[in-house]
Structure 1
Amino acid sequence: MKNNVYIEVVRQLTDLLKQLKPNEYNQSLAVLNGSSMGQHTRHVVEFYQCLLKGLCNGVVDYDARERNLMLENDLKFTINCLHEIENSIESIKNPNEPLLLAVSYCTYNQDFIETNFMREVVYLVEHSIHHYALIRIGLQENFPKIFIPKNFGVAYSTVKHREENVIMVND
């Protein structure tokens, strides 16, 4: 798959995590209601894993996350998983292949919605950025030594809007 935005979003997290120490990664943070960087990272990683699994079996089910505690607690393991996700996304041959999205809003009923990999990866970009914004808050409040890129946790549409308004103000 040629569009690098999808890879870039995963790499943003990988690059940020490489700056953390293992005890910082899984530290409970008051500003995140007791959650850790690792818990938010696990959540993001597992959504990508669900999508990639769905690509193999034809059904994407984000509710069927493994909730793997190693992703929350083992920084090196998590970084390796992120590299695997990058490689998997890069190797996608048919991003428009039809998939079904499993949706459950109650315990007794599951519906299926037609979708495709490209549509779902677009969703995951937005979902990831939302969690990156939370991760950013945790880092700013607790680990000021960590370099956070200017647009980490900021939606692409917001970045574009800000850039356009700066151009208009400077004209």
Structure 2
Amino acid sequence: MSSSLIIKSNIKTLEKAHLILNKLSNDLLSDSSIAPYYSSIGSHMRHILDFYSCIFNITNENKIDLTARPRNKAIENSCEEAKIYLNNIIETLKNFNCNSNKNIIVLDDLGLGTIEILTTIESILAQANSHTIHHFAIINYILNNLNITIEDPNFGFNYTTPKK
């Protein structure tokens, strides 16, 4: 039961990306003029979706390699390409077989080289959801500095953040 709720939560969070992609031009999507990191909304969007792509590329040995991201630059520069990638990720999530009884191994580089981490598919999907919200917060910071507002006052806020 919790597997389906985790997938629904991920979909609900990812669907918020439509608010941005439907509002921005390609120039604004790829604008990297905002300090201190000079990253673009498109680079964060691509990064978010690449995380999910890695999850979907789980091997027959139940391994997920988070270091093997596609990093398609077209996603960073084209709202249309980003929408296609986003919709593909959401559709794949809707049909994703989330067998929570199996352990998986996640490969990632936490700063000291690639390591293997024993976990579950539910845990990596929960991490993906939090990771998405974290990057949405950065995107919200960029939007604010570009004087762009979106219709969702909770965009980029974790669901557990207290409401004022």
Same fold per TM (> 0.5)?
yes
CA distances 1:128-153 after superposition (whole Å, capped 9, x unpaired): 11111110011111042x42411111
In structure 1, which of residues 15, 23, 48 is the aligned counterpart of residue 19 of structure 2? 15
In structure 2, which of residues 152, 157, 161 is the aligned counterpart of residue 154 of structure 1? 157
Q: Which consecutive aligned stretches of 4+ in structure 1 deviate over 6 angstroms post-superposition?
A: none
* Alpha-carbon RMSD: 2.0
Q: Which amino acid aligns with 1:64?
A: A
In structure 2, which of residues 132, 136, 142 is the aligned counterpart of residue 128 of structure 1? 132
Q: Which amino acid aligns with 1:101?
A: V
CA distances 1:17-59 after superposition (whole Å, capped 9, x unpaired): 1111111111122235321111111111111111111266621
Structure 1 partner of 2:32 = 28
Q: Is the 8 A contact 2:29 2:40 kept in 1?
A: yes
Q: When you count helix as a share of all residues, which structure comes out higher? A: 1
Q: What is the rounded CA distance, in whole Å, between the counterparts of 1:124 and 1:10 in structure 2?
A: 10
Cα shift at 1:99: 1.7
Q: What is the rounded CA distance, in whole Å, between the counterparts of 2:61 and 2:30 in structure 1?
A: 32
Q: What is the rounded CA distance, in whole Å, between the counterparts of 2:143 and 2:60 in structure 1?
A: 35
Q: What is the rounded CA distance, in whole Å, between the counterparts of 1:52 and 1:78 in structure 2?
A: 18
Q: What is the rounded CA distance, in whole Å, between the counterparts of 1:9 and 1:149 in structure 2?
A: 12
**Could you tell me the TM-score, scaled by structure 1's length?**
0.82
Structure 1 partner of 2:105 = 100
Shift in alpha-carbon separation, 1:22–1:103, aligned structure 2, 3 A: closer
Structure 2 partner of 1:65 = 69
Where does the alignment leave 5 or more consecutive residues of structure 1 unmatched? 167-171
CA distances 1:94-152 after superposition (whole Å, capped 9, x unpaired): 34143211133434xx43222222111100111111111110011111042x4241111
Cα shift at 1:66: 2.1
| Larger radius of gyration between Structure 1 and Structure 2 | 1
Is 1:89 aligned to 2:106, yes or no?
A: no
Shift in alpha-carbon separation, 1:17–1:143, aligned structure 2, 3 A: farther
Q: Which amino acid aligns with 1:112?
A: E
In structure 2, which of residues 40, 46, 52 is the aligned counterpart of residue 48 of structure 1? 52
**Could you tell me the TM-score, scaled by structure 2's length?**
0.86
Shift in alpha-carbon separation, 1:43–1:147, aligned structure 2, 3 A: same
Q: Is the 8 A contact 2:103 2:118 kept in 1?
A: yes
Q: Secondary structure at the match of 2:67?
A: helix
28-37 vs 112-121, greater mean Cα deviation:
28-37
Q: What is the rounded CA distance, in whole Å, between the counterparts of 1:57 and 1:9 in structure 2?
A: 29
Q: Secondary structure at the match of 1:63?
A: coil
Aligned length: 158
Q: Which amino acid aligns with 1:151?
A: N
Structure 1 vs Structure 2: percent identity of aligned residues? 23
